[in-house]
Structure 1
Amino acid sequence: MSPWQCAIRGCGAEFPDAEDTLVHQATEHEYHTCKICTAEVPEGYFAIRHALEEHSRAEYVRAYDAGPDDIREREAVRRAIESTVDVSRVAERLDADGRL
């Protein structure tokens, strides 16, 4: 199986699994400030999950100047990750380190 790659702009670091990739995104990258509610969330998957769970599609489209394809892409990323990794276990790892 091919390694997972961090898709945050300019990174490209590779990891053997999705869990390590998510930990990397949350610990090695600056936090993302949500343009809708100004919450500080880890970049990458956690920022995507925040936007899709906490805000409506309309709010996302307006705040991020996004379109339907942008939303579908983020939904696909979320599904791919959540079908591969136990996100609650990642959150526990990060919480134990005081990162979430």
Structure 2
Amino acid sequence: MIKVVAITSNEKDFPLHIELPDDLPIHGKVELDHERTIGSSSPARACEYRCTVPAEFLNDILQKISLTYKKKSLVVATNDIDKVYISDLNRFSI
């Protein structure tokens, strides 16, 4: 199993789309909202090596993706003054 993220050439600004470094042979933006896990041994999901990103860029991407797995508490209040509900949610913020 490997983790992959899509790369788009779309020029729209979106907080979850991170520009690839300029010195790579591939251009575009990494779409953090399109992270997937795929089976690396599946012929239907054959992957091909293209290039290596700088370690600093990779660490930044991994740190931002890791935020999607952290649980935060959200307080949900109702009209009933005596009741306040707290639930865990996965939240993402850059």
Structure having the higher Rg: 2
User: What is the TM-score when the length of structure 2 is the normalising length?
Assistant: 0.34
Select the structure that is richer in strand.
Answer: 2
The structure with more helix, counted as a fraction of residues: 1
TM-score (norm 1): 0.33
